Chains A and B, each alone.
Chain A
Amino acid sequence: MTRMLLQMDSITKKYGEFSANRGIDFSLRAGEVHAIVGENGAGKTTLMRILYGMEQPTSGTISLNGKAVSFASPLDAIQHGIGMVHQHFMLFPTFTVAENIVIGHEPGSGVRFDRKQAVSIVEELCETYGMKVDPEAVVSSTAPGVQQRVEILKVLYQGAEIIILDEPTGVLTPLEVKELLEAIKQLSKQGKSFILISHKLNEVLEVADRITVLRDGEVTGVVNKGEADAALLSRLMVGRELADLDRRPAQPGESVLEVSEVTIRGSKGKPVLDNVSLNVRAGEIVGVAGISGNGQSELLQVISGLASSDSGSIKLSGKDVTGMSTRSIREHGLAHIPEDRYVWGANRTATVADTGLMGHQRRLQRSGMLKLKEIRSLVSGWVQKFSIKTGSLDTSTQYLSGGNLQKLIVARELEQGTPFLIAAEPTRGVDIGAMETIHGELLKRREEGTGILLVSSELTEIIKLSDRILVMYEGRIAGELSVNEATEEKLGLLMAGGTLQ
């Protein structure tokens, strides 16, 4: 057994009464890929913030190569060879790739910054680690996959031996994910060690040598490669068995949504939506897959009346609702779980009860006065049913974690009981337990005859729930697959602009 490079012993972190980490032991060998999985709030991020010097542990010790260390700031951690690639990239969009990599340790003599040398340094780095980037490209014009490589190269340039990757695959296409996992394997062969934080179990299982599972701030299991499968991991994460989704074949009925030939002209000659036609029937879930930014948001906005189209028509339950206001479209039978919960779904400063009321306000009133009692009992019903963690109904929405707010919004929109429902990224940032609840509710609605349009950037979610899958690429429907013929590979190909021949 190789010596431990990094050892974290009984790390505890308390915020007042609340313990985010309770006696966590964690170790890392040189050249090892060690994954940390766990639900939201399990303490993964806190542990990494402690390792990276962004937080100080309440108790516990960290040692590197057998020597005890403590990091007062990220700069300290960097100097000890620990680098972190953040979930949200820390890049300068208008700078070149080379500039982004060398920043903080720029080459050049005296005060002069030698950009030519920076380019050659980056070319050398690419050579050494077998990752390709164009050093002179401007970062904002590069793909997320490239930006990720830039982040990793930056960390390597800073001299990192231990690289922390925080949810690294969130913004990547399936192909880019494959490349990233390949790069991680390559680099670990060259002796670099990785700590991989993720909630995507299949990726973790593919690349990790060891997996530590956290729940409620405690380690619930450490498993080696080959000893684990997804079921075991999710059991350790959630603390109970996950029920298999009860899924019967769809019994589609009448058409509830008909979108025909909708076009939105973009500002730069390229249409944002190009002649999009689709329909959703009662009792089926139609999934829309695609890399974000290929027209999905605009499609949802047109359907829900938040944006207007340049041509084409939209029918809800047989009625033409094209160009109607959002309010009348909703009254014609549409509920909407919006893709960005903070922009469209909630008011950060409103209370939980108020956020729950939104959209129901015209129903739950008498001559202009809100029926507060009824509202509160309704919302507290949701809080129980979806186990939404909130201080009280009067807590400000901004203090809810993303997952809990998402559950609140889902509950609110399901309550509308409309024949048609838009579910956009219904489980973004939500942990496995909540995901199970939300998926179960959506399927239940389908059984009851609701037509659901599901837009998600998670292919597993799309495949799990949908009866038919549409793939959007550059504002067009690039293909349609039934759930039986759909695989991640086929969908990934369509999402990247390929064809299935």
Chain B
Amino acid sequence: MAQLFDLALINSALRVLTPILLAALGGALCSRVGLFNVGLEGFMLLGAFSAVAGNYFFGNVVYAIVFAIIVVSLFSLVFGYLSIHLKANVIVVGVAMNALAAGITTFSLRAIFDVKGAFYDNTMVGLPKWNIPIIENIPVLGPILAGLTPLVYVAFLIAGLMWYYFYRTKSGFRFLAAGENPLAARSVGIRVTRYQYGAVLASGVLCALGGAQLSLGQVTMFTEGMTAGRGFIALVATMLGQSGPLGVTAASLLFGFMDALSIRFQGLALPTHFTQMLPYVVTILAMFFFKDKSFQQDALKQGTSSR
């Protein structure tokens, strides 16, 4: 048992949960304004690719991340335009965005780098891995926080900020109102569409950061389809966490921990394919429990009863 659970496990859980948490927070923003964003996976994949591409072109991690944010923001605006402006079905648009992102990244990999499957260049520098001076030497905290990228801290910071925004600011209050009853929100002069675009754009930025953590965090490379369903796990985390910042963080912690555990299991004599199932099995189990409690279903019920 001691072999399985130690402080390093928590450390690696924090690393792997970061992309999920970032994307899930983006998903939460979208679902709070009534747009169920299935495109998180594609957003994140494109983020991972453009982070690597930016890194290759500019030779600078900060520029790489900025580049990824710009690319995915533009991409998310397409999602926003189709689903908000043209009122296309959000789920269908989300699925299309995923397929599009997969296509764009594969195509660009060939067109730009002339490689197939994966791109790796050993001149590229990944995200810095911080060892914070004093904390480093504190017994329990030290090993847990050892060598984490800045994005790990950013993810948790954003979760906290989001909580403050939702529950303490006027703008956040109106944001929630716009999602809960758009018609009523419009009647008091709230610009619902603006909040919807804001949410979609923010989810683009968050997914870009999540993607950057994937492709510049633990490893510094891009492989085709490297998000491997993390966007969908993030979606489940969004639902499981009832689209609230704290709930989403808790759900992401659970998934991150399962992911880390599955990596750890590989050290034992268990078959790799079997252990890799773990996060997904937990996802399915989690789906059972969230069933009736979804925030969106509540909203739906209330919408019909008030006639």
Binding site for B on A (CB under 8 A): 74-75, 78, 86, 88-95, 99, 103-104, 106, 108, 111-113, 140, 154, 158
Contact = CB atoms under 8 A, between A and B. Distances in A.
Nearest to A74: B187
Nearest to A118: B173
Interface of B: 168-174, 176-177, 180-181, 183-185, 187-190, 298-299, 302, 306-307
A112 B177 CA distance: 16
Quick one: which of B176, B177, B298 has the most chain A CB within 10 A?
Answer: B177
B303 to A, nearest CB: 8
Contact of A90 (B169, B187, B302, B307): B187
Contacts of B172: 113
Top 8 A-B pairs, shortest CB-CB distance:
A90-B184, A104-B188, A93-B302, A75-B189, A113-B170, A106-B170, A111-B169, A90-B187
Nearest to B303: A93
Nearest to B302: A93
A95 B183 CA distance: 15
Contacts of A112: 168-170
B170 A140 contact: no
Contacts, number: 62
5 contacts: A90-B181, A90-B188, A95-B177, A95-B180, A113-B169
A103 B306 contact: no
Contact of B171 (A88, A111, A158): A111
B186 to A, nearest CB: 8
B183 A90 contact: yes
Contacts of A158: 188
A281 to B, nearest CB: 34
A113 B180 contact: no
Contact of A111 (B170, B183, B298): B170
B177 A103 contact: yes
Contact of A88 (B174, B188, B302, B307): B307
A92 B177 contact: yes
Contacts of A90: 181, 183-184, 187-188
Contacts of A78: 189
B173 to A, nearest CB: 5
B173 A106 contact: yes
A474 B169 CA distance: 41
Given A91-B184, A103-B188, 7 more contacts: A90-B184, A91-B181, A94-B302, A104-B174, A111-B170, A113-B169, A158-B188
Contacts of B183: 90
Nearest to A170: B307
Contacts of B181: 90-93
Given A74-B189, A94-B298, A103 B174 contact: yes
A113 B302 contact: no
